[in-house]
Amino acid sequence: MSPTIEKIALSGDTLTIREGIAPDILPPQKVVFGGTLNAPADYAEHLLRHEMLDESDSRVEVDEKKDSLTLFHRHSANALEAEQVKGTLRSNPDLDEFLIFLGSGSPAKWTPKALADFLRPRRVFFSEHDEHARIVSALLAYKVSSNTEIATDMTQASRTGSGSASIVRRNAGFDELEFTLAMSPLLGEPKAKFKVQVCFDVRDAAADVWIESLELRDIIEAARQTGLEREVARLKALGLLIVYV
């Protein structure tokens, strides 16, 4: 029995005949490679080392609003054959887990024990390991004591049958703890050291805590600016056309 021809496709001077049962022939798809901000320059340097970079047929688009760079290589050819490599500034997921309050919006709150349990396996991110042990121990030992003092106004009590009460809460711990982290502010960027404060909000016989760092906000913004400038300079040095969009 002769095989059954299932699919025939003509593309330019090429005739494709497929026998047997086969899925549909799909048109070529454009593929865009993505990575951290240094991906376009790294790829362009790789092409240059292998004498594959065509500077006259390449360009780089810079989108400052989206903190991204896109390398278009061989873009004047068939659009489906052009190579695109996009690099984007991304937040550091390890740093995001700390839920550090940067001064806007509302802080994410923990109980002292929950924060201690979170910090316990993350000693590697502390600038000083001894500081890590001190912070975790202090959070686990943190307690709030409440003393209730009843002050009764006899005149009011005789008139209304009621008195007044005031509650005084005292922290049997610390009003504030501070430590230093050494982490990359953005994925792929160099590490930076910054101070972090543990702040307390006492309520009833318990307390909520959050961690904040106004210093980190400035470090992230500086890393964003210097990161874009550094990568644009690398691409310019390769002789590529830079276009701001």
- Are 102 and 197 members of one domain? yes
- Are 119 and 208 members of one domain? yes
Residue 101 lies in a domain: yes
Give the model's pLDDT for residue 28: 64
- Are 34 and 103 members of one domain? no
Query: Residue 229 is part of which domain span?
Result: 26-88+225-244
Residue 15 lies in a domain: no
- Are 43 and 144 members of one domain? no
Rounded Cα gap, residues 233 and 239, in angstroms:
10
Number of folded domains in the chain?
2
Q: Which residues pair with 200 in a beta bridge?
A: 209
- Are 207 and 105 members of one domain? yes
- Are 40 and 78 members of one domain? yes
- Are 203 and 133 members of one domain? yes
How many Cα atoms occupy the beta-carbon half-sphere of 18 within 13 Å?
A: 10
- Are 207 and 231 members of one domain? no
Residue 77 lies in a domain: yes
- Are 64 and 141 members of one domain? no
Give the model's pLDDT for residue 8: 64
- Are 143 and 76 members of one domain? no
Express each pLDDT in 40-96 by its tens digit.
999 999 989 988 888 888 899 999 999 999 999 876 555 556 788 999 999 999 999
- Are 34 and 128 members of one domain? no
Rounded Cα gap, residues 150 and 5, in angstroms:
95
Q: Which residues pair with 19 in a beta bridge?
A: 5
The closest alpha carbon to 76, from 62, 59, 63, belongs to 59
Q: Which ranges of the chain have pLDDT less than 70?
A: 1-14, 18, 20-23, 25, 27-29, 75-81, 144-176, 204-205
The reported pTM is 0.69
Rounded Cα gap, residues 192 and 153, in angstroms:
58
- Are 71 and 105 members of one domain? no
Give the model's pLDDT for residue 142: 84
Residue 60 lies in a domain: yes
In contact, 244 and 147? CB cutoff 8 Å: no
Give the model's pLDDT for residue 149: 45
